Chain A
Amino acid sequence: MEIEIRNIYKSFGKVHANIGISLTIHAGEILGVLGENGAGKTTLMKILAGLQPCDSGEILIDGKPVHFHSANTALDLGIGMLSQDPLDFPMLTIFDNLYLGRRKRFFIQRNRFSKQVEKMEDLLGFQFKLNDLVETLSIGERQQLEILRLLVYGSELIILDEPTTGISAQQKKQLFELLKRLAGFGKTIIFVTHKLGEINELCQRTIILRQGKLISDVVLPCESSLLIQSMFGKAIDLQSPGDASQFEKHFEIQHLVIKDARFFSNPVDLNIRKGEILGLAGMEGSGQKTFLRTLAGLEKPINGMFLDEGYSLHWNSPHSFTKRGIYFMPASRMEEGLIQGMTLQEHFILSQTKDDFFVDRDESHKITEMRIREFTIRGFSSSTAEELSGGNQQRLLIAMLHENARLLLLENPTRGLDIESTNWMWKKLHERCKKGASILFASADIDELLRFSNRILVFFGGRISEPYPSQMLNSEKLGALIGGEGW
């Protein structure tokens, strides 16, 4: 199908998300949509998928103007969207998740539909246990499930909003092969991202959005530097990797055994040094999250000690962990990190550890404005957390990490951030390290792990490796370790 967008405008209060965007997309095409955080990519896609009405403008499918009264209309017309955070039902089974929305018969056609799903699964190389709860899947798996669902629905146009942010390198490779195959069948793919490499690898054409406007429409492949220039309006260089050295001992982990939903880990012994950055590598759901949460005092380990300069931290009082400057930043932004309905200012008030009874509005307003400027968050101190775009929510989370932190535990800290923001964020984190803070971060991005960590722990199926100095690894070696080879 051929889709034409004419003169789309959309604003949220004072923020203009889309300004006069026009575009034509052809059948069987993989179109990239590139732009930095908050450029209006997600808004445009939501309009196209019928999830949000536009203020003005027109959408034509095969030359006929269409109006989306609800997401249903868009789905009926064959437009399906995969959102940034998977919009599924964690508490329902995988089967129910797939079935929901296909409404023909009164009774659920269990056997027939299962067969249909299995056929599609074979085609795509997925394997889901249909009776498991979606809750038990990793974010990467949940994304696969969403793609599977849209295909079972018979979507002709599939919009993927930053699909590679939470998944492993191998899953990404599979995804790209899959998308190319789908394009071969005549399906149209719109691929929203801020990662240049992916655009060049996957797409034939890309549009670039900047501050709500369509800046350029480029046929690929194309020089990355040119793309960067139109994305940010300026050139950006990649910064050199941090170097490992012998720092002072800071935290010590002894015989720590963690308990995940699926396994107990082997005992881990680890010294964390002052100013050190430790990367946690592994496929999504291999235990990195539990490891970080355990060190943050949020989950109790089966066994083991966690010493802070000789002082033993005890899991019965999670509060004592924050008191000693240990902070955790979760990957699921809206679920654990931020509070829906609260403004940025209120978030900053909460994150301060002042003991005053009354809230000093003026002071906190000042702090909020300062942080918004310092962390270039696109929003106002009176905006609520859910009004921010995904990337800006991530920035807000980082802005909220306490100044006096001694150990930062970050789960996928750059998930959903573009190159500029990633670099800038690591600059901020390096500043923290210079002040003596240590960082443990989990990431699905091999390049990021190699570039920023001094040492890397690899997680695989409940096993946790000895720390590898990152100079000893390269991307192939690390990739193999993540895949469970070479242990």
Chain B
Amino acid sequence: MQSELLIGLAGVIASASPIVIAAIGETLTEKSGMLNLSVNGIILLSAMSGFIAAYDTGNLIAGYLAGMLTGALIGWVLAFCTITLNQSQVAVGLVLAFLCRDLSYFLGNDFMGFNAPVLHSTPLPFLSEIPILGSLFFDQTPMVYLSLLSIPVSLVWINRTKFGLILRSVGERPEAAFARGINVNKVRYLYTILGSALVGLAGPIYSLGLKPGWKGSMTGLDGIGWIVLAITIFGGWNPFRVALGAYLFELLRWLGLVYQIKLTGVPSQVLQVAPFPLMILTLMFVNMKNAEWFESFISLLPPPIYRFFSLKGKRRKAAPSSLGIPFRNV
């Protein structure tokens, strides 16, 4: 029983890895003030292209690189259309989301059902022998290690480096960043491409590992990208919270699967869909401290208690102020 639970939880960490990487990529993009809505399309297209590249070359690394390249390319298209050509981020992003999805089905049609190499887990020496933690975190595939590593790295990058500071400034108040001599649109280009490349890495993580192979619209990846977008928002653009959201989502999905067997009276669809509303409810609860009504409710309490709860001044995880707003220097 103990080990069954452990295997299940290790599976949750593994299956959340592409969502973690994609959501951190999207967080980086959105921190710069760019809204990339094409995540869902990028994941599908890169899953397809990564699969084909790995199939053709027989090399996994080529597959991952192809996925990232696909993502970067779509990111560049988005940046070019919105920054250089001044088009709407929302419109271009949505069009790309659907275009890339259908393109992946179309281009991948001839490769359906083929076998490409699959990434296997490589236990880390010594670390994997630690009880419980070892089998949870250190007996996984390299991509899972990468997803775990991406959390602290992105946190440090955003909060402790000058580049992270520049990134935040551009997303908060581009005109002020410009006045400090920062090339706002260049920064936005870079992070759109970088973020999309990370999203693009999520695709091959599925097609070369978690859900091996390419089965067109049967692959079951459609929809993941929208969850990534939601997690980015509910995670408050903080890589740590974003990753927590990803793990929570996969945990709920796993519970759904487990209880599907035990609760035979409940239609299986209910348990399959349950993670989505549950996820939203949980995140709403987490974010409640930001709500106006919560603030006014606690203001009724005596001042010392009020001050304890009040988050004002220590303001939380608001969206980058200029998210989705184009910057043009007059």
Question: Using a CB–CB distance below 8 Å, which chain A residues touch chain B?
Answer: 51-52, 70-76, 81, 83, 87-92, 96, 99-108, 132-133, 135-136, 259, 261, 264, 300, 302
Contact = CB atoms under 8 A, between A and B. Distances in A.
A261 B313 contact: yes
A-B pairs with lowest CB-CB distance, top 9:
A72-B181, A101-B180, A87-B176, A71-B181, A87-B179, A89-B172, A103-B162, A91-B172, A71-B179
A89 B162 contact: no
A52 B329 CA distance: 8
A103 B162 CA distance: 7
B181 A259 contact: no
A136 B182 CA distance: 25
A108 B165 contact: yes
Contact of A89 (B163, B169, B296): B169
B299 A302 contact: yes
Contacts of B330: 52
Nearest to A75: B181
Contacts of A96: 165, 168-169
Nearest to A72: B181
B166 A100 contact: yes
B175 interface: yes
Nearest to A262: B313
A190 B181 CA distance: 20
Given A108-B161, A261-B313, A92 B168 contact: yes
Contacts of B315: 91, 133, 135
B312 interface: yes
Nearest to B315: A133
Nearest to A73: B181
Given A87-B176, A91-B172, A91-B321, A106 B161 contact: yes
A7 to B, nearest CB: 22
Interface of B: 160-163, 165-166, 168-169, 172-173, 175-183, 296, 299, 303, 312-315, 318, 321, 330
B178 A71 contact: yes
A89 B167 CA distance: 12
Contacts of B172: 89-92
Nearest to A53: B329
A433 B166 CA distance: 50
A167 to B, nearest CB: 20
A458 to B, nearest CB: 24
A261 B165 CA distance: 27
A101 B182 contact: yes
- Scoring A74, A106, A132, A300 by chain B CB atoms within 10 A of each residue's CB, the highest score goes to A106
A51 B166 contact: no
A329 to B, nearest CB: 23
Contact of A100 (B169, B183, B296, B299): B169
A90 B299 CA distance: 24
A91 B165 contact: no
Contacts of A83: 179
B161 A88 contact: no
A433 to B, nearest CB: 36
Contacts of B303: 264
A300 B293 CA distance: 12
Contacts of A92: 165, 168-169, 172
Nearest to A86: B176
Contacts of B169: 89, 92, 96, 100
A52 B165 CA distance: 24
B176 to A, nearest CB: 4
Contacts of A91: 172, 315, 318, 321
A90 B176 CA distance: 10
B40 to A, nearest CB: 29
Given A70-B183, A89-B172, A91-B318, A103 B296 contact: no
Nearest to B180: A101
Contacts of B318: 91
B166 A89 contact: no
Contacts of B181: 70-76, 101
Contacts of B165: 92, 96, 99-100, 108
- Scoring B168, B176, B178, B179 by chain A CB atoms within 10 A of each residue's CB, the highest score goes to B179
Given A91-B172, A92-B169, A300-B296, A133 B313 contact: yes
Contacts of B182: 72, 101
A89 B173 contact: yes
5 contacts: A51-B178, A75-B181, A87-B176, A105-B162, A106-B162
A54 to B, nearest CB: 13
Contacts of B176: 87-89
Contacts of A106: 161-163
Contacts of A89: 168-169, 172-173, 176-177
Given A70-B178, A133-B315, A300-B296, 8 more contacts: A71-B178, A76-B181, A90-B172, A90-B173, A91-B315, A101-B181, A132-B313, A136-B313
A107 B179 contact: no
Contacts of B299: 259, 302
Contacts of B168: 89, 92, 96
Nearest to A102: B162
A89 B176 CA distance: 7
A135 B315 CA distance: 9
A302 B163 CA distance: 43
B175 A87 contact: yes
Nearest to B181: A72
A487 B330 CA distance: 49
A65 to B, nearest CB: 20
A51 B318 CA distance: 29
A72 B183 CA distance: 9
B294 to A, nearest CB: 14
A81 to B, nearest CB: 8
A268 B168 CA distance: 42
Contacts of B178: 51, 70-71
B315 to A, nearest CB: 6
A155 to B, nearest CB: 12
A340 to B, nearest CB: 10
Given A52-B330, A75-B181, A89-B169, A107 B160 contact: yes
Nearest to B325: A340
A261 B312 contact: yes
A183 B299 CA distance: 49
A302 B315 CA distance: 21
A73 B180 CA distance: 10
B301 to A, nearest CB: 12
Given A92-B172, A108-B160, A51 B313 contact: no
A261 B306 CA distance: 12
A100 B180 contact: yes
A90 B165 CA distance: 14
Contacts of A73: 181
A333 B200 CA distance: 43
A132 B182 CA distance: 23
A88 B174 CA distance: 10
